[in-house]
Amino acid sequence: MTTTHATQIATSVLAKVKLLDRGRISVTKETIRAWAECFDLAPDGVWPTEALEAVARHYSKPNPFPIFPGDVIDYCAKQPVHSSREHALFFLDQWLKYPYSTVVKDYTGMDFPRIDVPEGLTVQEESKFLEDRHRKWVSQNLDALLAGIASRKFTPPAVER
């Protein structure tokens, strides 16, 4: 997530918090920066729709404590990929880094096209080559991929620990 994007989300979240939690949380530029910094550190991402929903759900409880950035991050991390367009875009971007994975197909129903890889590339060069080609393919097929995510609502199998 970019700092600008995290700042925009933090600004919206804190505006909603200010409406619901009168007086307990002071919204300043410093507060927004601090929340944005936390959102930037979220390994699974924070998205506008889910972040605002986290605030609404938190303050829908009787006598809630003030909400903290970690509450929003935790809520977002628990949402499925199909919870919003932003979440689905983040998901696609993350999985493009793994060109041999079938995860994108599992969630969208669409498989990457077969791409002939030039000979003589190192493993890293081959991976980068495929990632670049897949990014182009995703940009050309983005609407269909997002529709696939929204319609399939794929839930990965549970992993035993």
Q: What is the mean pLDDT of each run of 10 residues along the chain (161 residues)?
A: 85 96 89 97 94 97 94 96 95 90 94 92 94 95 96 81 61
Q: Which two tokens stand for residue 75?
A: 């809520």
pLDDT of residue 99: 84
pLDDT of residue 1: 62
pTM of the model: 0.84
Dihedral angle of Cα 124, 130, 134, 135, to the nearest 10 degrees: 40
pLDDT of residue 159: 66
pLDDT of residue 53: 98
Q: How far apart are CA 8 and CA 81, in angstroms?
A: 21
pLDDT tens per residue across span 92-129:
999 998 888 999 999 999 999 999 999 999 999 999 99
> Do residues 58 and 17 lie in contact, with contact meaning Cβ atoms separated by under 8 Å?
no
